[in-house]
Amino acid sequence: MGAGIAAYKACELLRLLTESGHDVNVVPTPDALNFVGAATWAALSGHPAEVSHWAEVHEVRHVRLGQEASLIIVAPATADLLARAAAGMATDLLTNVLLAARCPIMFAPAMHTEMWQHPATEANVATLRSRGAIVLEPAVGRLTGADSGPGRLPEPDELFRAVMRVLARGSAGLAADLAGRRVVVSAGGTREEIDPVRFLGNWSTGRQGYALARSAVARGARVTLIAANTGLADPAGARVVEVTSACQLREAMLEAAPGADAIVMAAAVADYRPAARSPVKLKKTGAGPDPIRLTENPDILQELSGVREPGQVIVGFAAETEIVLAQAAAKLAAKGCDLLVVNQVGGGLGFGAVDNAAEILAADGARVSVPSGPKEALADVVWDLVASRLT
């Protein structure tokens, strides 16, 4: 834990981890104790919060902690701490532990925007990512004082989710197979306005797209999440762009796509929108409603496939009430994507549900069946297939 005002959030993260059954050792930098004292960390973790590598020398604590850990999360990770970690320095217990670690390491940066965007910090982050460390993108929001911008520590519950995704991968988490990759994920359901109070929409909650974003972060990717009307908390480590309509989603996806290694279109996009939006609320007239003329929305997935860059992997989603593989194969060919995830909705699956099941069809003829299970499990299968296709 670095010396930043966001250290108070780490108390809640520690509580979430210990209450879920994990044994947590807190290793603050000496200056971090100016924000939250050693007694607090000891009380919450059940272990002393040591800061010096001279403590308990007979146990070789500075090496043992790194050797025995399943995961190290540095939260908050200040600009100074990122710099020392990138340089391989060992000036206190924490940096010694980082050097001795043979487990996944996750950094959750927190600092003022100017510090996060400084070329030195950008270079240090790039160095750490090149070594397989997971460096989360900071959240955007209120910082110390009146400042606001990128540099805010993600909320503890989302950091907890990120930690759990890395731990769920076990030894596979060491590989960080998406490290250095940039991915774009869409999530949620678009809304097409009829008037200021009504819209055409669908039941998508965005949970599958958010599971995809969290899993990609846990595998080391830099994630841009285009979110349509989800109402969900921003996943830790992902840059979130909020949109409402299909046209807004198209614009955001086309803007984010250049330079991306993979694009996953998990959002449920409305096929049609009203040809004209009423500027005022439509009223009952007693003579029955006037018909609403519809116009077709753009096919975003097909358009992304048509302008793809060399080596870019594109994944589409198709929610169906029944899965007919012949129709799914035809849709895969028509969309021009590399993978099509066909998931059945209804019967406790799909929109709004905790679990999902799918058939994943590949342009090269491969097919993978994913049985009903948590949406995070489906997300990992998708990223396994994407990673195997990235050059």
Q: Which residues are catalytic?
A: 202
Angle of the 93-100 helix axis to the 61-68 helix axis, nearest 10: 50
State which H helix or E strand residue 252 sits in.
Answer: helix 246-256
- 380: amino acid identity, one letter: D
> What are 18-23's contacts with CB under 8 Å, separation 24+?
18/44, 18/45, 18/46, 20/160, 20/164
Element (DSSP H or E) covering residue 362: strand 355-362
The residue type found at 67 is Q
User: Tokens 């992304």 label which residue?
Assistant: 304
- CA dist list (Å): 38 to 29, 58, 71, 75: 11, 22, 21, 16
Cβ contacts of residue 221 below 8 Å, gap of 6+? Answer: 178, 179, 181, 182, 183
Alpha-carbon distance of 54 to 52, in angstroms, equals 5
